[in-house]
C-alpha cells in the first residue's frame, strides 16, 4: 500500500497532533515518503539513525509497522532482514476520519458536564439553598 502525500499528512496530524501546522506535517510526510518511493516497504538498513528515530516515532503513533524475513546465505548462515511499512489499515482510518467532517470548534468537550441538565441555573440554586437553609440539606451520596 503506497500512501499519497496528502493522506500521510492527514494521518500525521490525526495521530500526532490535530493542531499541528499542515506545513510541518507535510514536511514530515515528504521526508518519510522520500524513502518509500513507489514501494510499500523499505529496508531498515537504508535509514540513518535520525531517520530511524522518526520511523520509531511514527511506529509509536501507530502509523508504521515493521516486518522481517529470514533468508539463508550461500554459506548456510541465516540472515534476517528488517523492513518498515505503513500500517495496512492506515488508509481506511484516514478516510474514515476525513468523512466525519467535524470542525474542531464545533466539538464542545464540556457539553455533558452536568449530565445533560438543561437548566443549569437550577443546579446553582439548589446548591445555594443548601447553604442558606441547613434544614434543606439532603444527602445525594
Dmax (CA) for the chain in angstroms is: 91
pLDDT at 72: 92
Q: Is the pLDDT of residue 40 over 60?
A: yes
DSSP assignment of 26-91 equals: HHHHHHHHHHHTT-SEEEGGG--HHHHHHHHHHHHTTSEEEEEEEEE-TTS-EEEEEEEEE-TTHH
pLDDT at 86: 86
What are the pLDDT digits (tens) for 105-128? Answer: 565 666 666 665 555 566 556 555
- Domain locations in the chain? 5-108
What are the pLDDT digits (tens) for 51-95? Answer: 999 999 989 988 888 999 999 999 999 999 999 998 877 777 777
Domain 5-108 has CATH 3.30.450: no
Write out the three cell numbers for 36.
Answer: 518509500
What are the pLDDT digits (tens) for 23-35? Answer: 999 999 899 888 8
Q: Is the pLDDT of residue 15 over 60?
A: yes
| pLDDT band, residue 7 (cuts 50/70/90) | confident
Q: pTM value?
A: 0.59
Amino acid at each position: 500500500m503506497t500512501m499519497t502525500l496528502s493522506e500521510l499528512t492527514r494521518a500525521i496530524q490525526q495521530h500526532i497532533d490535530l493542531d499541528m501546522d499542515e506545513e510541518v506535517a507535510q514536511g514530515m510526510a515528504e521526508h518519510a515518503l522520500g524513502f518509500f518511493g513507489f514501494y510499500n516497504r523499505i529496508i531498515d538498513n537504508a535509514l540513518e539513525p535520525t531517520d530511524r528515530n522518526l520511523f520509531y516515532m511514527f511506529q509509536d503513533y501507530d502509523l508504521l509497522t515493521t516486518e522481517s524475513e529470514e533468508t539463508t546465505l550461500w554459506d548456510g548462515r541465516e540472515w534476517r532482514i528488517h523492513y518498515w511499512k505503513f500500517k495496512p489499515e492506515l488508509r481506511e482510518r484516514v478516510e474514515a476520519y476525513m468523512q466525519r467532517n467535524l470542525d474542531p470548534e464545533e466539538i464542545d468537550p464540556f457539553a455533558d458536564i452536568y449530565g445533560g441538565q438543561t437548566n443549569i441555573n437550577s443546579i446553582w440554586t439548589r446548591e445555594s439553598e443548601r447553604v442558606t437553609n441547613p434544614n434543606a440539606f439532603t444527602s445525594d451520596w
